[in-house]
Amino acid sequence: MGMHMKRKERAASVYSIRLRWHIIISYCLAAVISLALIAGIIYFEYRSSVNERATARLVSVVMEHKGTIENFLFELANTMRMVTLLEDFDNLRQQDVLEQVYAVLEKEYDFAFEDLGVLDLDGNHLAYVGPYDLMDRNYIQAEWFQDVLEKEMVISNVFLGFRQAPHFIIAVKQTNGQDTWILRATVNAVKFASLVEYVRFGRTGFAYIVSHDGYYQTRSRDGYRVMDHVAPDHLDLEFFEGVNFWELKQDQRNFFRAKTWIKDNDWLLVVEQDVDDIYGELYLLRQNALIFFALGGILLLVLTLMTMKLLLRKVKLIDAEKELLDEQLIQSHKLASIGQLSAGIAHEINNPLAIIGEESGWMQDILKRENMQGIPEHDELTDSLREINQQAGRCRKITHKLLSFSRKMDATIREVDMNQLMDEVAALREREAGLSSIKFIRDYDQDLPMIHTDSSQVRQVLFNLINNAMDAINKNGEISLSTKKNKDKSITVTISDTGMGIPQENLTRIFDPFFTTKEPGKGTGLGLSICHGIIEKLGGTIFVASKVGEGTTFTIRLPLEPSVTVADD
């Protein structure tokens, strides 16, 4: 019997080894055949595809560099806009405050900004920081100044100006209360040119920018300097969509040129590379391809074995995640059941409260009769009944708040008093906040108009932001709630805390789904993402400002009237 079992085990072992080798040989044959077919197709299609690949590569470089330049310009302009929103006009026109802002901008953007100035609508400086004597200069006739009066924000072309040095302007117009003013910054043309010329690829790749009226904004490959005019037969400046690409001969050079319009079709980005340089890289690629194909067969077997192991680990990980999601789903059902239970309890409490109120009122009416005036305890009974009525009313308010928050409501656009809504949400958390020495400070605009919006969704956003503020403070701090009417038929709601603040590197990701800085199990990273989606759906905007160690401020702007997409049926 033992010998028979050993034979069976030996036969199973031999079968397992054969099966394993069969799988390995099958994978190797499949790999060799596949690689051979791919090599053959590439060989026969190579001649016709070289030009197409070169085109795609250069177009990709153009689009990538276009994004880099426009992102750089947008970041500078957006920073200027944030300065006008975060800094009060009266503070910013102070020389010492403007110097502090300029120092921060210099450090943040590697001295890309040359100077910074605050101007009135007549083109006069109210404050100026920089190396030039421009305080007494008037810009009313400057083209960029006329543009910013009309467009609110302008990025100018490169020009010489009063300082007689190439530069361009980023200007933002801002209105705070009754004050309208302009924040102007000069961008270092050399720094900007280095960003454009960073596109160097291969031996001869080069990029430059030309304005729509034919002036070089950066140096060209042919030696033209900034502010030189483009020769009429050198470059076509007609407007077009997308990317233009072609091969041409010019000045005894055979090269590829790709170009596209950037900065609202005001600048033309041009990228050039010699034909031999492009094809030389592709020739080298063909030679290396043979080595890669040879190594591919060997690596495929190793990768197959590793993939099998990774798949098994992935399956285990998916099972673990599924169990976690099941637990979260059960927890969400529990919370939903608790909400329904609390709503039912509130309803049940309301009924006896109504009876108590009616009976106490009836008893007060009895005590008012003449024959009851002589009772020795008449005053005490009257005070007690009044206290009963007062406390019953207080209980009714509590149950009403509980019902309004726990009730699931369809999206309904109605007239909402934002001051009252913020008070209702704050009241639900104020008692718990008091236990942690967290104080609520209210600063409401008493002339705030009614708005038409979905109160239940706005309540959810406010509740989440107040919860986040309490988590950020933990103990001993303040949460400021404020409202303000704007001139553009909208209102602003602000929730600030004195908590730990948010690091600068996290501010751009704060509204991303599943992004959270809380410990595992204490946050899903969905709260702020959902808030952002709700506010945008209601036609508003939400943004955040924060400094580590000082606190965080969330600002919400909501229109007085809803957008078409959320309007009530």
Residues 6+ apart with CB under 8 A from 439: 433, 477, 478, 479
DSSP secondary structure letter of residue 224: P
First to last CA, the chain: 83
- Residue 208 · residue 216 · CB < 8 Å: yes
What is the reported pLDDT for 190? 79
- Cα separations (Å) of 274 from 50, 193, 244, 246? 14, 21, 17, 12
494 vs 374, which has greater pLDDT?
A: 494
Average pLDDT, the chain: 79
Output the pLDDT for position 39: 66
Give per-residue pLDDT as tens, 109-165: 877 888 999 999 999 999 999 988 889 889 999 999 999 999 889 999 998 888 788
Tokens encoding 99: 């110097």
Task: List C-alpha distances in Å: 541 to 276, 512, 521, 557.
Answer: 52, 15, 29, 5
Instruction: State yes or no: pLDDT of 4 exceeds 60.
Output: no
Average pLDDT (21-46) is 66
Amino acid 409: pLDDT: 45
Contact between residue 453 and residue 443 where contact means Cβ atoms under 8 Å apart: no
What is the reported pLDDT for 450?
93
Highest mean pLDDT among 265-279, 353-367, 554-568: 265-279
| 3-state SS assignment for residue 230 | coil
**pLDDT higher than threshold 90 for residue 264:** no
Query: For position 452, what pLDDT does the model report?
Result: 92
Report the percentage of the chain scoring pLDDT > 90: 22
Helix (H) or strand (E) holding 440: strand 438-443
Domains 87-191 and 331-403 in one fold: no
Distance CA 416, CA 456 (A): 10
The DSSP element (H or E) to which 559 belongs, if any, is: strand 551-559
8-state DSSP, 110: T
Higher pLDDT, 48 or 460: 460
pLDDT at 524: 46
pLDDT at 1: 46
Longest dimension (CA), the chain: 121
In this predicted model, what pLDDT tens digit does every residue of 211-260 receive, in sequence order?
988 898 888 877 888 888 898 778 888 888 888 888 888 777 788 888 99
Going edge to edge, which strands form the sheet with 490-497?
Answer: 438-443, 477-485, 490-497, 551-559, 541-547
* 560 token code pair: 């007085």
Phi, psi of 279 (to 5 degrees): -70, -30
CB-based burial label for 202 (10 Å; 0-12, 13-18, 19+): middle
Q: Which CATH number does the domain 410-566 belong to among 3.90.1150.10, 2.40.160.20, 1.20.1050.10, 3.30.565.10?
A: 3.30.565.10
Q: Which of 118-122, 283-287, 412-416 has the lowest mean pLDDT?
A: 283-287
| pLDDT at residue number 173 | 93
| pLDDT of 451 over the 90 cut | yes
Query: Greater confidence, 410 or 59?
Result: 59
- Among 208-217, 319-328, 480-489, 514-523, the range scoring the smallest mean pLDDT is 514-523
Two tokens, residue 265: 């079709």
Percentage of the chain beyond pLDDT 70 is 74
pLDDT of residue 477: 92
Out of 50-59, 341-350, 518-527, pick the least confident. Answer: 518-527
Q: How confident is the model at residue 44 (pLDDT cuts 50, 70, 90)?
A: low
CB 481 within 8 A of CB 422: yes
**Three-class DSSP category at 273:** strand
pLDDT tens per residue, range 63-100 = 888 888 888 888 889 998 999 888 888 888 899 999 99
pLDDT of residue 169: 92
Q: How far apart are CA 531 and CA 554, in angstroms?
A: 11
Considering only residues 337 and 433, tell me which one the structure prediction assigns the higher pLDDT: 433
Place of tokens 């001295």: 111
Domain 87-191 has CATH 3.30.450.20: yes
pLDDT at 505 (0 to 100): 84
pLDDT of residue 552 exceeding 90, the answer is: yes
d(CA 475, CA 438): 6
CATH class of 331-403: mainly alpha
Per-residue model confidence (pLDDT) at position 199: 60
Enclosing H/E stretch for 419: helix 418-435
Close Cβ partners of 1 (under 8 Å, ≥ 6 residues apart): none
Question: Which has the higher per-residue pLDDT, 564 or 438?
Answer: 438
Q: Residue 376: which residues within 8 A CB-CB, separation 6 or more?
A: none
pLDDT of residue 5: 46
Section 21-50 average pLDDT: 65
Q: What is the pLDDT of residues 310-327, one digit of tens each?
A: 665 775 677 666 666 666
Using pLDDT thresholds of 50, 70 and 90, give the confidence band for residue 401.
low
β partners of residue 209:
269
Concatenated DSSP letters of 376-419? TTHHHHHHHHHHHHHHHHHHHHHHHHHHHHHS------EEE-HH
Spans of all domains in the chain: 87-191, 331-403, 410-566
Confidence class of residue 525 from pLDDT cuts 50, 70 and 90? Answer: very low
pLDDT for 497: 94
**pLDDT tens-digit readout, 169-197:** 999 999 887 889 999 999 888 778 877 77
